[in-house]
Each structure stands twice: as C-alpha cells, then as structure tokens.
Amino acid sequence: MIRWLRVWRLVWVALCLGCLACSTTPGKSPTSGDPLERMNGEQLREMGEKFLAADDGPTALRYLTTADEKRPNDPLIQYDLGDAYDARGMPEKALEYFQRALTLKPDYPEAHNAIGKIYAEQGRSDEALQAFQLALTNPFFQTPHYALFNMGLIYEKQGNWQMALTYYQRALQANRNYAAAYHRMGKVLEATGRKNEAREAYGNALQFDPNMVEGHYDFARLSYQMGDFSSAHFSFSRVVKLAPNSAMALEAAKYVHAIEVRFPQ
C-alpha cells in the first residue's frame, strides 16, 4: 500500500512538473534549457515540497536550492531546505537553514520545533526542551502536538515517566487522532506496570493508524500475555504482513505459529 502511494505521488509530481514547464509567459522563450529556470520561486518551493513528500530528497534539494537563489529571503524556503537536509541525514546543514528561517521570521514555531528535534537527537536535551517551549509559545502554531510529543520523548528517555505521560496526554489533547502519542503512552504505562492501560493505549494507536507495525506488535504481545489469543493472532499476523523481512516480523511469526498449534482451525 505504501509503495503504491509513493508511486502515485511520484507520478503526480511528474504531471505537475509537466504543467509548470508549460506555464511560461506566451511569446517569451526561456533563457536556459533547464526547466527550473522557467519557474518562479514559489513554484520551485511547491515542487520541492512535493518531491520531499515523495521521499525524493536529491530532487527536492535541487528545486529548493534554485528557489533559494531566486528568493533568498523567504523563510518558508529556508525551512524546507532544512527539512530536506534533515531527511538526507545532514543535521548540521539542516540546523543552518532552520536558523536562517528564524532569522527571517523569529516567530516561526515549526522551525523551533525542527531545531528542537535535532537537538534532542544529538542529546542536547535542555536546548531541545527550550526550543519546543518556544514553539509552543506561539498561539498560531498549527501542530503543537508535535512539540508536546517530542518533549514527552525526552522525558521518557530520561526515565521521568510521569512527565513523559503528561506531555503525551497534552499532545493528545491537541490532536486526539495522534497515533504515535497513544503508542508512546502505552510504552510508559507498560514500563510502570499498568499493563491493562498500556494495552488500551496500543489499541487506540491502532484505531488511528491501522498499519502501525510497532503498535500491532506491542498490542499483540500484551494480548498474548493476557490470554486474548484471538487479538494476539490478528495483530501478530499484521506485523508479518506489514513488515515481512523485519526482525519484529520473525518474532511475530513464532507467536502466530504457537497460537495456531495451540488452537488449530
């Protein structure tokens, strides 16, 4: 399903590119054979974002770099470049562009959140928390659940279960459909011995993301421990189907076999 979705995105991007390439002003010939030269900065940014969504980082960078040349003071382009470099595994370069975006637009919550995420990955927890808080101070931040969730991850990694749980709950208050927050909440609840609540949280995660492999595995594992073999069999089977070559799928397959031996059809 994911593969076909990505293929469709790429086809759609190609169609958009074809349309944009034909959208030059009538009577004027392009100054270069490069189709990017015929687009303005906004068109280039939009195309770069579409290639990012299609997981084509190199092509996205090509469009966004050209967009930056045409509109060097556009904070959206700077942010997108940071996003593209982060996706390419170049965090320092990404930070450079996120910080440029903030220089151009100091109240840019998405940029603060992106910087915080990189700091957290680098183990710079205090700086990360500060960046997330800065994102949350903006009342127009459209996705505060991301910053709240990221703060929960930091506290979870530190073993501060109560603070982690608090921030995952706040993330869900901001977006009740956020499957990742339910899943991490389940992890914290399980770590503190609250297995029934953890299983419920894993189930909630699957309600909003039926293809979450880790969610299925964790829900199935607790279901198996609690004697709900039917639910366990279903979710372990989903793990095998969704991620057939993963270590998690190999482990899930053992459970599936054990359940089928115990309860033959």
Q: Which residue has the tokens 């109560």?
A: 162
Helix-strand-coil split of the chain, %, nearest 5: 75, 0, 25
- What pLDDT does 85 receive? 96
- What pLDDT does 264 receive? 87
Q: Which residue has the tokens 């960078």?
A: 61
Give the tokens for residue 5.
């979705």
If pLDDT is split at 50, 70 and 90, which confidence band does 165 have?
very high
CA 244, CA 238: separation in Å to the nearest integer?
9
| pLDDT top residue among 2 and 58 | 58
CA 172, CA 145: separation in Å to the nearest integer?
7
Give the tokens for residue 247.
């270590």
- CA 85 to each of CA 53, 115, 134, 251, 256: distance values in angstroms, whole numbers, following the listed order: 14, 12, 22, 35, 41
Segment 132-137 mean pLDDT: 98
Is the Cβ–Cβ distance between 112 and 148 less than 8 Å? Answer: no
- What pLDDT does 15 receive? 45
Is the Cβ–Cβ distance between 169 and 185 less than 8 Å? Answer: yes
- What pLDDT does 27 receive? 36
Q: pLDDT averaged over the chain?
A: 89
**pLDDT 10s digits, 70-95:** 999 999 999 999 999 999 999 999 99
Q: Which of these, 122, 116, 61, 125, lies nearest to 87 by C-alpha position?
A: 61
**pLDDT 10s digits, 166-206:** 999 999 999 999 999 999 999 999 999 999 999 999 999 99
- What pLDDT does 189 receive? 98
Rounded to 5°, angle at Cα 22 from 59 and 36: 30
Collect contacts of 143-149 with beta carbons under 8 A, ≥24 apart: 143/110, 143/113, 143/175, 144/109, 144/174, 145/171, 145/172, 145/174, 145/175, 145/178, 145/181, 146/113, 146/171, 147/109, 147/112, 147/113, 147/116, 148/174, 148/181, 149/178, 149/180, 149/181, 149/184
Is the Cβ–Cβ distance between 199 and 226 less than 8 Å? Answer: yes
- What pLDDT does 33 receive? 65
- CA 204 to each of CA 53, 156, 180, 197, 219: distance values in angstroms, whole numbers, following the listed order: 26, 19, 10, 10, 10
| pLDDT top residue among 23 and 135 | 135
CA 51, CA 42: separation in Å to the nearest integer?
14
